[in-house]
Structure 1
Amino acid sequence: MKTNRSWIYGLLAIFLSLILFFYASTSQYQTQARTSGDIATETYTNTIKGVPLVLRYDSEKYFVSGFASEVNIDLSSSNRVLLSTETQESSRTFRIVLDLTKESPGLVEVPVTVEHLTSGVTAKVDPATISGTIGLKKSKTFKIDLASFLSQLPNGADVQLADGDREVTVTTNEDLLNQIAAVRMVLPDDWGTTKNYNGEVSLQALDVSGEVVPSVIEPETIAIRIQLKTEEKK
């Protein structure tokens, strides 16, 4: 009888040992699975502001205007090293592109795309789309409106510039070119109206309302000399 009981107790002990073994193994597997899942879903994000936007279009044929020059971008990754690499301007591989090559002339709204982004990093661009105008490229020669510039100076002031600098070439699209009423010189910000000036001034193409017309002016600046009238002593 004792032998039978010992045999039964032995079987029970083995059975309980197997149950404990399988329970421990299952618990360990579930713990590892949860830990692995937590690591995989942990994501880091960096926001970069003012990333330059590359406009892709036929610059020989078209003139574009009104498009933003920069965007903001959110980069995300579970790998901090990759994220840091793409965040730094000196080491990043991606670029932000606005592809206009398939668009027709006129006002367009185009989605912003991210090219050459490292695998393992995702990106979200703000704004996601950008609007602007595409037009046929045209150029025209204009005389600089010297009279309007003189009207901004003190009475008796004399302005001198080389004869070759009295005309400039303005490039824009067809519609905007027809809106240009004058090309004028812009007074330097650091110049006071109580002293002479000898240096460069920038140029602007303006419409009849005095609003700046988007354009490229060649040359961008010209050299002038402003000589103020000296009061004679009595």
Structure 2
Amino acid sequence: MDNFVDSPWFMRVVAFLLAVLLYTSVNFNDFELKKKVDRSAQESTEIITDVPVQAYYDNENLFVSGVPKKVQVKIAGPKSIVQSTKQSKDFELFIDLTDLSIGEHVVQIKHKNFSDKLDVTIQPEKVNVTIEEKVSDYFIVDPEFNDNMLAEGYQVEDLSVDPRRVKITGSKEAINEIVYVKATLDVKEKVGKETTGTAKIRVLDNELNKLDVKVEPETVQVSISVKNPSKKIKLNVFPKGTPPKGVTITAIEPETDELTIYGKESILDEMEELMVPIDVSDVTKDTTIKVPIELGDGLNFASPQLVKVKVSVEGSPETKPADESKEE
């Protein structure tokens, strides 16, 4: 036996086996590392936002508040599966309240139809919900419009809404807290004619807090008709400036002594006349001047817009004496 161990062939075999073992060990580690790198390169993580949440409960008799309309989902796994899941969105997020009693509960958002190869994280994972007895009632809608969006001189003549009543469903407590049911017509441009638009219903309590209720329909049509009030007022003219030396203004007479002014009633009510200045600085003889009618804030139109004013004069402009030094 000792002779065999001491033989050179034994030593050669042992050295060979050790070399093979060392080679296998090194290459196995490289192989495992390569597998990890390849697997890492093939995996992906994506965040899907605005994912709706379905709630399961007895919606004929119960009303549930606190369920988020949309949440965020993080998925991680094989890149191909992650991408196809993100594109197809063939999955569902839900909370199951079917076995829960009336009251407040903390429930977990669950999911289904995700691949088993995906790691799924929902944010938030849990939500606070309140289950209450369902109550429905009908309320009158109050249409609104921002007067700052009226064209200059216009005012609201009528504001209407269709439908006039809406059905509101919620908890008994929320229904009892309803004070305002409003629909505000939003416009992008100043309104100077009859306008109709879609407005979303807002249900508010006494402190203008939005209530968690269901409204049917959620939107209504709000129509606004406007008017441009008018009033006939006296036109008075007066001279402005000083005529040339030697010229005297004897009369200033407009072809009409009355104007029709359009604008806000509150401003028109205070107007009895309009004073218009006539510039006589350059008048040297009898002439007729066309004067534009200029209006202030809250007024938007005058009829006529141009007024002819006859200016009568006496005398003539003095001739400047010749320069005596030049005559010499």
Q: Mapping of 1:81-160 within 5 angstroms?
A: 81-88=80-87, 91-145=88-142, 149=144, 157-160=157-160
Query: 2:62 maps to which residue?
Result: 62
Query: Structure 2 CA distance, aligned partners of 1:150 and 1:31?
Result: 73
The one-character-per-residue Cα deviations of 1:48-97 (angstroms, maximum 9, x if unpaired) are: 222222222222222222322121222111x2111222222xx2333222
User: Secondary structure in 2 aligned to 1:223?
Assistant: strand
Structure 2 unpaired stretches of 5+: 233-328
Report the Cα offset of residue 122 of structure 1: 0.6
Query: Structure 1 CA distance, aligned partners of 2:9 and 2:217?
Result: 101
Query: Structure 2 CA distance, aligned partners of 1:172 and 1:191?
Result: 36
Q: How many residues align?
A: 222
Query: Structure 1 CA distance, aligned partners of 2:130 and 2:223?
Result: 38
Report the Cα offset of residue 104 of structure 1: 2.5
Query: 2:172 maps to which residue?
Result: 174
Considering Cα pairs closer than 8 Å and 6+ residues apart, tell me whether 1 or 2 has the greater RCO: 1
Q: Match of 2:67, as an amino acid?
A: F
Q: Match of 1:126, as an amino acid?
A: Q
User: Secondary structure in 2 aligned to 1:142?
Assistant: strand
Structure that is richer in strand per residue? 2
Larger radius of gyration: 2
Query: 2:220 maps to which residue?
Result: 222
Are the counterparts in 2 of residues 96 and 114 from structure 1 also a CA contact under 8 Å? Answer: yes
Query: 2:8 maps to which residue?
Result: 9
Query: Structure 1 CA distance, aligned partners of 2:219 and 2:40?
Result: 55
Query: Structure 1 CA distance, aligned partners of 2:57 and 2:142?
Result: 33
Report the Cα offset of residue 123 of structure 1: 1.0
Structure that is richer in helix per residue? 1
| Backbone CA RMSD of aligned residues | 3.2
Identical pairs, percent: 23
Query: Structure 1 CA distance, aligned partners of 2:7 and 2:56?
Result: 84
In structure 2, relative to structure 1, the CA distance for the partners of 1:11 and 1:209 (3 Å cut) is closer
Q: Match of 1:72, as an amino acid?
A: Q
Q: Match of 1:133, as an amino acid?
A: T
Are the counterparts in 2 of residues 44 and 76 from structure 1 also a CA contact under 8 Å? Answer: yes
Query: 1:210 maps to which residue?
Result: 208
Structure 1 unpaired stretches of 5+: none
TM-score computed with the length of structure 2 as normaliser: 0.57
